[in-house]
Amino acid sequence: MNDSIQRLIPSPTELPHRRRNPLTGEWVQVSPQRVQRPWQGRQDPPAPQGRPAHDPTCYLCPGNERAGGQRNPPYEGTFVFANDFAALVPDGPAVLPAHHELLQAAPVAGQCRVLCFSPRHDLTLAAMDVADVRAVIDVWAEQVEDLGQRYRWVQVFENKGELMGCSNPHPHGQVWALDALPNEVHKENVSQADYFARQHSPLLLDYATVEIDCGTRVVECTDNWLAVVPFWAVWPFEVLLLPRFRVAHLPDLQADERLDLAVILRRLLRRYDGLFDTSFPYSMGWHGKPRTEGAEGWQLHAHFYPPLLRSATVRKFMVGYELLAEAQRDLTAEAAATQLRSVHVEQQQ
């Protein structure tokens, strides 16, 4: 075929198609031809870039009084405390009345904690050094180990930036533990157990091998870890962070694996910040093996869901077709990974 004619024929990935998420069984519609459409919709103002190292009005800074009336100690590293406005409480109702089969409710009990990454009000994970990021990883693991002895599910997560609904700019994350399996976790549990029963190997460990062999969606890769824009990504610059070895829980990570995780996590977050030259907003969270029957084949992993689409002021909205039918994206996972890989970050460990 003539080369000029060949160039006029779109590849399959340049035409509308659907991709399946093997972790949930759900589909996402990909519409690459829409990526050039003009944008005259909402543009959010860029988040303020300069913050002091200590803010006397911040509820999370060392020595300050929190909104609930408690006073923070003069902490110098990571700091964990019980959420003053927790979404879960340890002593929920024992039973709830069943009014009708279409009006079902169930009791839930749990705990919520806040984890300040650093005493510095202006220091995100991306700006911290590797040793301090490693310290945060250790605290994540400690929280999972502690709460996981009493609850079926422990969710470690971070909402970063105003666009993700973060109510306080001091860099921090949260830990919610509860005695039930949340919806997303249940779907992942079923999918991983089913794959393991059929293939006798973990779904996400096999997936990491596929992505490394392919290479087009890889953002960062170390001896132990892989950061990839997943084939089925919904958010524009969504990333899945995967271990390249068999591991089910954060507490199971060895010293060298935690250090390597700190390296790749810091580099990934710096790529995010460099993409649109802004402190990149996102929601991220860890999924480790839950305390439940039928959790065979579970592999530890972290999800990163950032909302920015075209610039620091234009974000992705989940509306219309996404709410009523299924998720849809314009930018392909391959194109997003290429953009993230193009961001320069320093090579130091």
How far apart CA 196 and CA 246 sit, in angstroms, is 13
- Does residue 89 surpass a pLDDT of 80? yes
Band (pLDDT 50/70/90 cuts) for residue 109 is very high
Mean pLDDT rounded to a whole number for the chain: 91
Mean pLDDT score, 99-121 = 92
How far apart CA 287 and CA 242 sit, in angstroms, is 10
Nearest 5°: the CA angle 196, 110, 283 is 65
Residue 43's pLDDT is what?
63
Domains of the chain as residue ranges with CATH: 79-94+102-178 (3.30.428.10), 182-341 (3.30.428.10)
Of 121, 172, 287, 303, which is the active-site residue? 172
Lowest mean pLDDT among 90-104, 171-185, 193-207, 257-271: 90-104
Q: What is the pLDDT of residues 156-210, one digit of tens each?
A: 999 998 888 787 899 999 999 999 999 999 999 999 999 999 999 999 999 999 9
Contact 326/206 with Cβ under 8 angstroms?
no
Contact 195/22 with Cβ under 8 angstroms?
yes
- Does residue 110 surpass a pLDDT of 70? yes
pTM for this predicted structure: 0.92
User: Which is higher by pLDDT, 139 or 99?
Assistant: 139
Residue 323's pLDDT is what?
94
Mean pLDDT score, 17-36 = 92
**DSSP letters spanning 37-99:** ----S--PPPPP----S--TT-SSSTTPBPTTS-B----SS-EEEE-TT-S--SS--S-----
Give strand ranges (E) for the chain: 17-20, 27-30, 79-82, 110-116, 153-160, 172-178, 218-221, 225-228, 239-243, 282-287, 301-305, 327-329
Band (pLDDT 50/70/90 cuts) for residue 347 is low
172 is catalytic: yes
Band (pLDDT 50/70/90 cuts) for residue 346 is confident
Residue 44's pLDDT is what?
64
Contact 97/103 with Cβ under 8 angstroms?
no
- Does residue 247 surpass a pLDDT of 80? yes
Q: What is the DSSP letter of 13?
A: G
Contact 19/30 with Cβ under 8 angstroms?
yes
Nearest 5°: the CA angle 331, 335, 340 is 110
Mean pLDDT score, 145-161 = 96
User: Which is higher by pLDDT, 46 or 53?
Assistant: 53
Torsional sign, CA 290, 225, 204, 172: positive
Residue 277's pLDDT is what?
93
- Does residue 49 surpass a pLDDT of 90? no
Contact 179/110 with Cβ under 8 angstroms?
yes
Residue 68's pLDDT is what?
86
Identify the CA nearest to 78 among candidates 36, 133, 27. 133
Band (pLDDT 50/70/90 cuts) for residue 7 is very low
Band (pLDDT 50/70/90 cuts) for residue 310 is confident
Pull the structure tokens for residue 211: 């992505």
Residue 102's pLDDT is what?
87
Residues whose CB falls within 8 Å of the CB of residue 102, separated by 6 or more in sequence, listed in order: none
